[in-house]
Structure 1
């Protein structure tokens, strides 16, 4: 055989990958998506990509499980971004009436949160922006902020508590 695997080698590889990693890959995808059917689609797409990259996987460099989990995570992320970038279709929202009204409540909620964020300490605000606005992982946020991951976790915990307190205080002022 040459450098490129034949179709039989790639098919055998995919069958082996599914036998060895299918259950853990599915469990990981279910955790990421929260939906078994969507997770099964992610696993199928991951194995299809493994088949397309059989030569790389057969070369034996790097962790196969790591590659599979990374591909699955990327598929879930890409699908979430695609859903977020397209408008909601009527068929997507079966339990709501076709006309859901204006988006003023969403705008007001955003303004309230932004105002509350301004009242937090800079350390708390920047960790929340990195994690929730920019969608970074704890490790990515730690690297961006130049602090250890444990500090990011701690700050996010206390920042969310402080944010809730500020918002509760503002709500009390408005209603009281």
Structure 2
């Protein structure tokens, strides 16, 4: 009996592994497990197998395909297990990051020219439209747009230099 299984593995093990690797997405470890389980099942059912090469090959392919399908079903039905994080490594939001970012942005704003800082304050910080900012600052809307564009560009550069923005 075991001689037949050994001969079966020698004759069909390589081709079966190549075939199963394709069906497992080229996952060698999984494919080897499938081939091993297929051979174990062949050994268990050796008394009922028809030992003609074409029939045995078809039986091996069918069994291997079913093992792969069962594996896919198992993987999709059960979420992947992950180790729970250590309690002291779980981030707890405390507002520090936000406060630190606000300090860095305020510092970068102070580095801008007064004209750029004024339009950014009026439009972004005070939530005013271009027209409203232009009226308050006493400059044309086109000038507000231009200063806003170059001011934001300069602010991004300063923040990038400080390692805050990408």
**Range class of TM-score, shorter chain:** 0.3 to 0.5
TM-score (norm 2): 0.46
- Give TM-score, length-normalised by structure 1: 0.44
